[in-house]
A = this chain, B = another copy of it.
Amino acid sequence: MKKIRDRVAALQKLLAARHIQAYVVPSSDPHQSEYVADAWKRREYISGFTGSAGLFACTQNEAGLWTDGRYWVQGEAELKDTGIQLFKQGDAGVPDWKEWMLRSLKAGDRVGFHPHLFSLDQHQAMEASLKAGGIELLACEPDLVDEVWAADRPAIPRAPLREHRMEHAGESFGQKWVRLKSVLRERKAQALVISALDELAWFLNLRGADVGYNPVFYGFALVEEKRVSVFVDGPKVSESLRQSFGKDVSFLPYEALASSLSNLSKDLPVWLDPATSSYAVAKVLRDAAIPILRDVSPLPAWKAKKNAAELAGMRAAHVRDGVALLRFWRWFEAEAPKGELDEIKVADVLEQFRAKEQHFRGPSFASIAGFAGHGALPHYRSTAESNVKLKAPGIFLLDSGGQYDDGTTDITRTFALGQPTAKQKEVYTRVLKGHLLLARSEFPQGTNGYQLDVLARQPLWQFGLDYGHGTGHGVGAALCVHEGPFSVSLRKNMIALEEGHILSNEPACYFVGEFGVRIENLITVVKKTKTAFGEFLGFEDLTVFPYDRRLIELSYLSDEERKQVDRYHTKVVAALSPFLNAEEQAFLHEWCAPL
C-alpha cells in the first residue's frame, strides 16, 4: 500500500516541519455525525481503513489505527503493508490512543488536532488524559491531512434542501422556535447553537441529501430570541424556500458561523451542547469573551417524542415498507430454491421493491444481508469478496430499512432456506420470546430502557445465551435511523421512555461461523392504563411483517406467546391486505395463519 505509506509520510513530514510531535485524526465531521460525507473522510484517506468507526493517530515516526471488535478483521486486511499498526480497541491490554501517545511522547510535546472534529466532551477527556503527561494540545486549522489531501479532496456536498411538510412534521418551525425561545429565557441564554445535523433538520422542518442514508444537510443554526441564522451553503436553498421562513430567518454561508458568533453580546451566555458542539465553536466564543452555557440541548428530547402527525407518517411508511418486503419475500421464496441468489443480489432486489413504493427516498442504512456464518456478524456488509450464494439448508439474516418522506423504517427478519436444524429453531424461538416479552411489557412512567433491557434477554440468559449489542435504539421520523437520547441496552442510559418515543426491539443470538438470528420491529411507546399504582406505558408495533414460522419451535412458546404472535399476524394481514393483489394476499395469509 505505497499510496497510504506516502500519505502518512507526507503528514509526518509536515509534523516535523511544524514542530508538532503527534497528530490525531478521528472519523467525525464538524457535527459529530455517525455517517459523514466524503469531504470529511480524512481518517479513511490517510489510513486506507474504510470502516465507519476508527481513529488514526501518528507520531513523527509511528502510526496506529484504533477500531472496535466489529472491524478487527477488516482493519487487518486494509492496513496490511501500510506500516500502520492496528490497535484492537476493547481487547485486553490494548492501550487506547491517548495511552499510546503518553508512552511515545514526553512532557512539553505537542499533539495536533482539528478543532472542528472533537466535541467539547471529547476535547475535555482528551485534554485531561494528555495533560497528565505534560503534553499540550494544538488546534490545527486547516487540518494537516487536508494539506496532504489537497486537490483531490471532495467538496462539501451541496444537495438542494426540501421542505419537510407540515402534514408529516406536525409542528411548524415557528412553533418549535417558540418552544425554544421560552427555554432560552428560562435559562437566561441569548442563543443556542444547533450543530447536530438531525436536530437542525428537525428544527427547521427541512430535509437534505448531503449524507448517505440520512436525509440531513450540512449546516448550523444560531437560534436567538429575535432571529434565527442558518449557516448552509447558498445553492442549497431555493429562493421560495428561503422566503417561506420570513424575515427573521437569515440564510448565511456555512463558513459564516464563526463571525456571527463573535458578534454576539458578551452579556448573556450562548448555549452549547457539549456532546455535539465542537471545540472550535466554543473557542470562537471564548476568544470573543462571550460566556458559554454548557448543557444538554432540549432538542434531542423534543425530537424523540413524536407528535401525532409524525406517528401517522411512521405508521403509513411502515405499511408501504411491509408491502414492499412482502412482494420481495414472494419473489425470494420463488427464487431461493434455485440456489442462484447471492447476498448482494438479494439486497439489491429488496431495494428495487422498496423503490416502487410511494414517497421512497432511499435505504435508511446499508442492508445487512448475511447467509449462514455471515449472519453471525452483527454489522456484516456483503462485498464483492465476501458475497456468497444462498444454498439451502441455511438461515439468512436480512436487516434493512427505507427512508420515506413520511417516515423511516428498520426491520430485521431471519429466514429459513430448506429445513432448519433443531438448534436453529431453538435459538430463533428463544430470541423471539425475548422480542415478544419486551413488546408486550407494560411499565410505570419513569421507567428507562436500562431497566427493561433484561426482558428481551431473560429468555436467552436462561439458557446461557446472549447478544453483544443493545436491544433498542431510538429512530427518527423521516430522519436518522439511529437517534438518541434514550436506548434499551446494557449501557447505563437512564433516560425514561415516554409516550411517542420510537425505538427498535431487536434481540439476537450469534453463533460464530454457523449462523445468526436477529428479529427486529420498530415499536412506539403508548399509554396503557392509569391505576392507583401509577400511570402505565407500553409498546405498539409499527413494523408490519410476518415472522418466519418455519423457524418457530412451538413447544417452546407459552399459550400467551402463541396468542401474541397470532394477534400480531392478524394485524399484519389487516394492515397490508388492502394494498396487495389476490395472489399476494393468499401468500400473506399462508404466512400469517394461526400458529
Contacts and interface: CB of A to CB of B under 8 A. Distances in A.
Interface stretch (A88-96, A241-249, A316-324, A530-538): A530-538
What is the interface of chain A mostly: helix, strand, loop, or mixed?
A: mixed
Contact of A443 (B440, B450, B454): B454
Interface stretch (A62-70, A146-154, A404-412, A457-465): A457-465
A450 to B, nearest CB: 7
A351 to B, nearest CB: 33
A499 interface: no
Contact of A466 (B444, B464, B465): B444
A465 B533 contact: yes
A124 interface: no
Contacts of A442: 461-462, 464
Nearest to A466: B533
A529 interface: yes
A575 interface: no
B464 A531 contact: yes
A536 B454 contact: no
Interface string A300-315: 0000000000000000
A509 to B, nearest CB: 8
Contact of A464 (B440, B492, B533): B533
Interface in A498-541: 512, 528-534, 536
Given A454-B452, A454-B454, A454-B455, A444 B461 contact: yes
Given A442-B461, A465-B531, 19 more contacts: A441-B458, A441-B461, A441-B462, A442-B462, A442-B464, A443-B461, A444-B461, A451-B453, A451-B454, A454-B454, A454-B455, A455-B458, A461-B536, A464-B529, A464-B531, A464-B536, A466-B534, A512-B532, A558-B559
A77 to B, nearest CB: 25
Contacts of A462: 440-442
Contacts of A53: none
A297 to B, nearest CB: 24
A458 B442 CA distance: 7
Interface in A428-471: 440-444, 447, 450-455, 458, 461-462, 464-466
Interface in A534-562: 534, 536, 558-560
A465 B465 CA distance: 30
Chain B CB within 10 A, most for which of A441, A444, A451, A490:
A451
Contacts of A284: none
Nearest to A535: B464
25 contacts: A440-B462, A441-B458, A442-B461, A442-B462, A442-B464, A443-B454, A443-B458, A443-B461, A444-B461, A447-B454, A450-B451, A451-B451, A451-B453, A451-B454, A452-B454, A454-B455, A455-B458, A464-B528, A464-B533, A464-B536, A465-B533, A512-B532, A558-B558, A558-B559, A558-B560
Nearest to A464: B531
A494 interface: yes
A457 to B, nearest CB: 8
A443 B455 CA distance: 11
A452 B558 CA distance: 22
Contacts of A465: 531, 533
A190 B453 CA distance: 44
Contacts of A466: 444, 533-534
A248 B84 CA distance: 58
A492 B531 CA distance: 25
Interface in A157-203: none
A553 to B, nearest CB: 15
A144 to B, nearest CB: 41
Contacts of A528: 464
A442 B430 CA distance: 14
A587 B440 CA distance: 41
Contacts of A512: 532
A466 B447 CA distance: 13
Interface string A250-264: 000000000000000
Chain B CB within 10 A, most for which of A453, A455, A536:
A536
Chain B CB within 10 A, most for which of A443, A451, A461:
A461
A438 to B, nearest CB: 10
Nearest to A467: B533
Nearest to A490: B451
Contacts of A560: 558
Chain B CB within 10 A, most for which of A465, A494, A531, A533:
A533
